[in-house]
């Protein structure tokens, strides 16, 4: 009788453990509401559309500047900006203001709880990146040590 009670108790504890474990969200926590997700998708689509529209307005000379590999990225960007027409500058400014308005509208919908969760997620990502950098450095050290050992064996 005593062993049956112990068996039932252990089975009940295991069952509760499995059900609680399944309730936890796996992977990335759901932070945004469906409406906010739609806002983000619309924002990404607007950025893409604006980029394509702007690229289609570039002249052959401007495209040549973009494709010139002899210039550094910074030099290409500066040369390209210097070659913009007033219409292109106005288009860029309109695109910037449109995206800023979309971002501001999104920020207005974010709750304090969501801000807290996003901050925590950014912190976790930062820690992961630091850990990855540390691991990469350790791997480089190991490779260097292995090469040195091989040289010593040969020499």
Say which residue, 24 or 148, is predicted with more confidence.
148
Phi, psi at residue 30, to the nearest 5°? -80, 115
Question: 31 and 118 in contact (C-beta within 8 Å)?
Answer: yes
pTM for this prediction: 0.60
Count CB atoms within 10 A of the CB of residue 94: 11
- Predicted confidence at residue 20, as pLDDT, reads 58
- Predicted confidence at residue 9, as pLDDT, reads 64
In this prediction, residue 153 has a pLDDT band, given cuts at 50, 70 and 90, of confident
The pLDDT tens digits of the residues spanning 63-97 come to 999 999 999 999 999 999 999 999 999 999 999 99
Distance, in Å, from the CA atom of 48 to the CA atom of 60, rounded to the nearest integer, reads 21
Count CB atoms within 10 A of the CB of residue 45: 10
End-to-end alpha carbon distance in the chain: 75
- Predicted confidence at residue 27, as pLDDT, reads 47
- Predicted confidence at residue 26, as pLDDT, reads 44
- Kindly compute the dihedral angle of the four CA atoms of residues 34, 35, 36, 41, in this order, to the nearest 10 degrees: 90
**What percent of the chain is predicted at pLDDT more than 70?**
88
């Amino acid at each position: 009788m005593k062993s049956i009670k112990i068996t039932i108790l252990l089975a009940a504890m295991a069952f509760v453990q499995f059900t609680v474990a399944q309730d936890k969200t796996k992977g990335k926590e759901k932070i945004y509401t469906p409406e906010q997700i739609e806002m983000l998708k619309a924002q990404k689509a607007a950025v893409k559309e604006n980029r394509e529209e702007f690229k289609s307005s570039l002249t052959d000379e401007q495209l040549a500047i973009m494709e010139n590999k002899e210039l550094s990225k910074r030099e290409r960007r500066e040369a390209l900006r210097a070659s913009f027409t007033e219409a292109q500058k106005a288009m860029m400014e309109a695109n910037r203001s449109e995206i800023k308005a979309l971002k501001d509208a999104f920020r207005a919908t974010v709750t304090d709880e969501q801000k807290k969760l996003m901050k925590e997620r950014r912190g976790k990502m930062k820690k992961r990146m630091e850990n990855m950098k540390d691991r990469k450095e350790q791997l480089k050290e190991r490779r260097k040590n292995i090469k040195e050992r091989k040289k010593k064996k040969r020499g």
